[in-house]
Amino acid sequence: MMSRRGHGYALLSLAALALLSVNLRIPPIAISPVIELMRADLGLTSAAAGLLTSIPVLCFGLITPFTSLLLRKIGVNHAVLYCLTGLIIGTIVRSGGTLTAAIGGTVIIGAALTIGNIAIPMLIGRDFKTRAVLVTGIYTASVNVGTTAAAALTAPFAEIVGWQLALANWAIFAVLALVLWVIVYPPHLDRPRWMDAVAPEPAKPVSKERAQFEELSTATIPIAIVKPGDSRGFRPYAWSVAWLLAIAFAAHNLAFYAVASWLPALLSQSQEMTPSQAGFAASGFQALAIVGPLLIPTLGAIFSWNATRLMVLVSSLWIAMPLGMLVAPSFWYLWVICGGMAQGATFTVIFSIVIQRTASIDQNRKLTAFVQTVGYTLAAAGPVVTGWLRDISDGWSGPLLAVLVTTVILAVSGIWAAKSRAPAPGY
């Protein structure tokens, strides 16, 4: 039976991961409710304003290979310090009140978030591998808690203190996450503070704390230690499963950023809502994403659903949103529910497959970097392409058809990746 102290250590690890995750999408989402105020004060064109929301996504794709190398060199514990410090600095700089500060701060934020995108899947694979689906769900749900809060609270804050302080205030959460991270995951270690080795040494006695962590492998919140391993023969670009996961992730993110960018305007025009009503309705898309990641481990545990069945479910929910908005727009609330649940759950399923199909932390790092590089680079075009289609079609049919095609691509590639048993090259 595990002691309260052992359970406390496990919960503290999850708390550190969750608080880090909360910060990973607040900065780009927080801009949307106050973008018109920023345009007025900074004299931005629509293109420049759009750049402030697309820069982080471009960073996710373009900087990921370099971030992956950084993580290999200094480790997860140390790298996350750069992530959270960068978020604090970038959030404050972006609120400086000039165009240069806004762009410069956004670049810093994008680079910092890229580190977090790679670090968290590696951390889950290292410390929570035996419960990867559950902990990935907690991670994704935590991210969506942050996005929902940012979407709902930034505009009211701006009415009281102005958009600059409203955006800068979100740095407080990064400060809290930084403090907890240093307590739980010191940068000079490659494990939690209280673990005295990366893997058990059978010939040597282990500490009481270490034994408690090993006991977690069969407890409610288990932690399993995975050795770094040698992945010199592992080449994601030569593996069909890696390409299928990358395509699925790209399609998922392209659909997400397209919907997140244009849903308020779509609801305002098609349902004759006021801007505030449309914004509140669209926030459900973010809020419901909290449910999706928690649904996945529940289905896996209760019904023993494998990755293929889970991918069929989440891709079907994704397809339902644009299809429903095209054929039955009056039921928009139902389609928002489907899309919101799908966008949170899809991330969980994809990266659960990444974790399950890799045999070491370094393989995890390489595959995660490859999937995110392809996915986020393509996803940055989502809001631009859907906006262009809206202009040339003078309505929402064009953008919705584009999102529908994208979600079908997600379904085909994601289900194929989940079912594939193609071995990784070099292993």
Give the separation between CA 9 and CA 13, rounded to whole angstroms: 6
Integer CA distances (angstroms), 220 to 15, 127, 217, in order: 15, 14, 8
Q: Where are the domains of the chain?
A: 1-227, 235-427
Domain 235-427 part of CATH 1.20.1250.20 = yes
What class has domain 1-227?
A: mainly alpha
* pLDDT for position 275: 63
What averages of pLDDT result for each successive group of 10 residues across the chain (427 residues)? Answer: 60 90 90 79 74 84 86 91 96 94 94 92 83 80 85 83 94 96 86 54 43 37 42 76 94 89 80 75 83 78 86 96 96 94 89 85 84 87 77 85 96 94 73
**Integer-rounded Cα radius of gyration of the chain:** 21
- Structure tokens that stand for 113 in this block: 């978030």
Please determine whether the domains at 1-227 and 235-427 fall in the same fold group of CATH.
yes
The end-to-end CA distance of the chain, in Å, is 38
* pLDDT for position 245: 95
* pLDDT for position 22: 93
The answer for residues whose C-beta is within 8 angstroms of residue 13's C-beta and 6 or more apart is 127, 184, 192, 223
Does the predicted model carry a pTM greater than 0.95?
no
